[in-house]
């Protein structure tokens, strides 16, 4: 008998509704219609939490905070399961955060963090035109790409167990090249796109948080010292940590718990080389103290 053809599992349902982008979707920018479900130990949720505070959306877009470590099978948040089931009967995948839900229907609008961030910054809150400046789409997209490919993916490759020495060197060079770009820019500007905080700063700051608190643990000490040797960049990270909209959402124990629950890699010598004392900068609220690690 001929072998049965191989079949791929059906794709998971996609929740990518947009607010104010499609007149036929019915998702209008209405105060208190929507709710964010966030676990700030997750970098996607942390970006949304920071932007939510910068936009002053406490009374406009309520937030439900979830546990830092998912409490269900497959890395899901059990509290989100009813929303997923209401939106996709017998939803086959895990119920993960972040989620933007519609209070009117009890269903999910979107689980795609970049879309949620864009729609929040464009349609809600005070100073939204400053957070997402008109005409800055290309620059913001370039920053997003650098965060994802130039830092996060590069750092993972540089610290991946089993990777060859050449692969690790190439990835580390890409990572350091990205940091040098930001270091040069921040030597002349207070923020990534100029003299005001924008969504690009939200992207970069959370990326630096992940680089120090998560990815550093799988790099050797020499690599971490080279990463730390960008004084303008880490002074910028320290300054934003002291900003209430940023630092108040930084769940240091939660990030550590989430990392240990998910990570399957080997810890390296860089784990002992702290770049910033994040807790100190959140506590003093000034950003004046320095805990940069020097090579």
In CATH, what number is assigned to the domain containing residue 78?
A: 3.40.30.10
Count each helix (H run) and each strand (E run) in the chain, helices first: 13, 4
Q: Are residues 268 and 142 in the same domain?
A: yes
Does residue 22 belong to any structural domain of this protein? no
Kindly report, residue by residue over 180-190, the tens digit of the pLDDT: 999 999 999 99
Residue after which a domain boundary falls, among 101, 130, 159? 130
Asked if residue 277 lies in contact with residue 291, where contact means CB atoms within 8 angstroms, the answer is yes
Q: What span, in angstroms and rounded, lies between the C-alpha atoms of 201 and 195?
A: 11
Asked if residue 211 lies in contact with residue 148, where contact means CB atoms within 8 angstroms, the answer is no
Tell me the residue range of the domain where 63 lies: 34-130
Does residue 9 belong to any structural domain of this protein? no
Query: Distances from the Cα of 221 to the Cαs of 210, 225, 286, in angstroms?
Result: 17, 6, 29
Q: Is the dihedral of CA 105, 111, 116, 119 positive or negative?
A: negative
Q: Are residues 151 and 272 in the same domain?
A: yes
Q: Which residues contact 235 (CB under 8 A, 6 or more apart)?
A: 186, 290, 292
Q: Are residues 173 and 226 in the same domain?
A: yes
Query: What mean pLDDT do residues 80-91 have?
Result: 90
Does residue 150 belong to any structural domain of this protein? yes
Q: Are residues 232 and 191 in the same domain?
A: yes
Q: Are residues 227 and 146 in the same domain?
A: yes
Does residue 77 belong to any structural domain of this protein? yes
What is the reported pLDDT for 103? Answer: 95
Q: Which residues contact 126 (CB under 8 A, 6 or more apart)?
A: 55, 56
Query: What mean pLDDT do residues 279-295 have?
Result: 50
pTM > 0.75: yes
Both tokens assigned to 109 = 């609008």
């Amino acid at each position: 008998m001929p072998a049965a053809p191989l079949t791929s599992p059906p794709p998971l349902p996609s929740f990518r509704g947009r607010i104010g982008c499609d007149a036929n979707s019915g998702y209008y920018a209405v105060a208190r219609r929507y709710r964010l479900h966030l676990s700030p130990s997750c970098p996607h949720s942390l970006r949304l939490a920071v932007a939510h505070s910068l936009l002053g959306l406490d009374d406009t877009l309520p937030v439900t905070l979830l546990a830092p470590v998912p409490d269900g099978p497959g890395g899901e948040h059990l509290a989100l399961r009813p929303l997923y089931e209401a939106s996709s009967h017998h939803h086959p995948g895990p119920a993960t955060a972040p989620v933007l839900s519609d209070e009117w229907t009890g269903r999910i609008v979107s689980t795609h963090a970049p879309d949620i961030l864009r729609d929040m910054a464009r349609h809600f809150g005070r100073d939204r035109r400053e957070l997402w400046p008109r005409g800055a789409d290309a620059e913001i997209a370039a920053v997003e790409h650098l965060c994802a490919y130039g830092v996060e993916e590069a750092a993972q490759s540089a610290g991946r167990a089993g990777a060859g020495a050449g692969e690790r060197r190439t990835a580390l060079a890409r990572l350091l090249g990205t940091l040098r770009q930001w270091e040069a820019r921040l030597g002349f500007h207070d923020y990534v796109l100029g003299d005001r905080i924008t969504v690009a700063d939200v992207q970069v700051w959370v990326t630096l948080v992940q680089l120090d608190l998560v990815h550093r643990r799988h790099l050797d000490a020499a690599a971490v010292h080279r990463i730390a040797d960008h004084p303008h960049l880490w002074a910028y990270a320290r300054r934003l940590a002291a900003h209430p909209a940023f630092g108040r959402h930084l769940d240091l124990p939660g990030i550590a718990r989430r990392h240990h629950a998910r990570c399957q890699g080997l810890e390296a010598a860089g784990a002992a080389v702290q770049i910033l004392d994040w807790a100190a900068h959140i506590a003093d609220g000034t950003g004046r103290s320095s805990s940069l690690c020097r090579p």
